[in-house]
Amino acid sequence: MKLNERIRKAHRFSKPYRIEDGKRFRLADIDPEDTGGLKSEDKPRAQEALQAGIETLAELQDRLYAQDRWAVLLVFQAMDAAGKDGVIKHVMSGINPQGCQVASFKAPSAEELDHDYLWRCQKFLPERGRIGIFNRSYYEEVLVVRVHPEFLQAQKLPASLLGKKIWDQRYEDIRNFERYLGRNGVLIRKFFLHVSRQEQKRRFLERLENPAKNWKFSSADLKERACWGRYREAYEEMIRATATREAPWYVVPADNKWFTRVVVAAAIIDAMGALDLKYPEVGKEQRAGLAAAQKALREEK
């Protein structure tokens, strides 16, 4: 299958989960268990599709790196145990590490708290020709900070700036920031892995019952789970306020990992395919130089 055909197929597969105008978006409209009409017996086909996607991404990344004009930023947000790490691991498994970097953002350090909230993420933006992956991101500032107001107090902002409009102001700042990046050749795609409360519980129990997975569980996970309703409201409002045509959100059903990974791979292929990435053309003088080098090597004794 030719590259263009694979890109068109990816577009059809990812389109239902793409949100670029969030005004009417409701989280309840997307079922975390949705598998796009595929059934459990179709899982082997989905795995084949993922492998094909991985190979396609490797080809697109090679062109991205060689062309050295665009950068790609992939943002992943989700509730705990939704599968962000697994998606990054599997979907990006064919990518050349030289052209990709992953940044994970946890609680900010003292140094980071002494800067504006976008500062720590700006340091990890990808260079031209490379793919940057944010495992959590500046969106934590309108999610976890909103659910836990005490974190906002720790940011040491002047009291006059802590008004009721602060969240709307941050949405505006983020939209402007992403628009600025887009105007400078950074393609942005954002993914919210939409897991159900029941599936999160099942995965937490699996981590607790399997000694090999105990390290994945933290007591803080239960504390955050108790805030499920507030997080759901924060995510819904965040997506409504920051989904744009240039930097859309993909709300991906996450109860079935095999399906989640296929959708994410398809969305990235669709986005990168639209860039019309090409290998640099070799000019007349360069071709002459290459021919001379080839001749010299063949004549070498």
- pLDDT tens for each residue of the chain, 301 residues long: 678 788 888 888 899 999 999 888 999 999 999 999 888 888 888 899 999 999 999 999 999 999 999 999 999 999 999 999 999 999 999 999 999 999 999 999 999 999 999 999 999 999 999 999 999 999 999 999 999 999 998 898 998 898 889 999 999 999 999 999 999 999 999 999 999 999 999 999 999 999 999 998 988 899 999 999 999 999 999 999 999 999 999 999 999 999 999 999 999 999 999 998 999 887 777 888 788 888 888 988 7
What pLDDT sits at residue 1?
A: 64
Give 134's strand partners.
Answer: 75, 103
- CB count, 10 Å around CB of 293? 10
Sequence-ordered alpha helix ranges (H) in 162-227 = 166-182, 197-209, 219-225
CA-wise closest residue to 263 among 271, 253, 273? 253
CA-wise closest residue to 59 among 3, 123, 106? 3
Domains of the chain, with CATH numbers? 3-299 (3.40.50.300)
The C-alpha atoms of residue 39 and residue 203 are separated, in whole angstroms, by: 21
What pLDDT sits at residue 295?
A: 83
Strand stretches in 116-160, DSSP E: 131-135
CA-wise closest residue to 57 among 2, 7, 104, 102? 7
Give CA separation, 149 vs 86, 143, 144, in Å: 30, 10, 8
